[in-house]
Amino acid sequence: MRKRLTPTRAALTTAALTTAGLLLAAAPTAHATLADADAHAPARGKPYIETRLLFGTARPDGGPAVTDPQFMAFVDKEVTPDFPDGLTVRDVRGQWRDAHGTIERERSYELVLLYPVGRADANDRSIEEIRRAYEKAFGQESVGRVDEGARVDF
């Protein structure tokens, strides 16, 4: 038994196929347009490195968590002398797997440093000293580090 398309069904089928065809044809164009927009964005600012350091506050030995005043005193003593032009501290929540395989969830701090690419080698040494100092001062297993290129304009 053959189904016969009524004029209404034929019109709906044609409209659906036309719409689908237009959407499929436009999809690569829309994707290319987004990529082109990103590639043609004006390059503002100068080349910098953005380093984010992730400091946990829970102590592996079960001692009291690092407090805000303790952390800010650490920043004043260990970070500000090497990065006097500025930095950002954010209160965050973190999760990671410790050396024993336990998932730890804790209040943390994210420290954001921005510095010119030309200072990367000198600042790398300072940043590693900051990480080691925090680990030692507060009994931490590690301090996370993320480095990315950035363009910065103040």
Distance CA 52, CA 147 (A): 7
Distance CA 65, CA 78 (A): 19
pLDDT value at position 39?
Answer: 66
Contact indicator for 56, 104 with CB cutoff of 8 Å: yes
pLDDT value at position 4?
Answer: 54
| Region for 146 from its dihedrals, namely left if φ exceeds 0, alpha if ψ lies in -120 to 50, beta otherwise | beta
- Residue 34, pLDDT > 90, answer no
Q: Where are the alpha helices (DSSP H) in the chain?
A: 7-39, 68-74, 120-138
- Residue 136, pLDDT > 60, answer yes
What does each C-alpha distance from 127 to 24, 42, 99, 104, 114 come to in angstroms?
50, 31, 23, 24, 12
Q: First-to-last CA distance in the chain? A: 75
Contact indicator for 98, 141 with CB cutoff of 8 Å: yes
Contact indicator for 75, 91 with CB cutoff of 8 Å: no
At residue 10, φ and ψ (nearest 5 deg) are: -65, -40
Name the DSSP class of 45.
S
pLDDT class of 44 with cuts at 50, 70, 90: confident
For 83-112, write each residue's pLDDT tens digit: 999 999 999 999 988 888 989 899 999 999
| Tokens, residue 10 | 């034929």
pTM of the model: 0.71
The pLDDT mean for the chain works out to 83
Strand partners, 151: 47
Contact indicator for 107, 65 with CB cutoff of 8 Å: yes
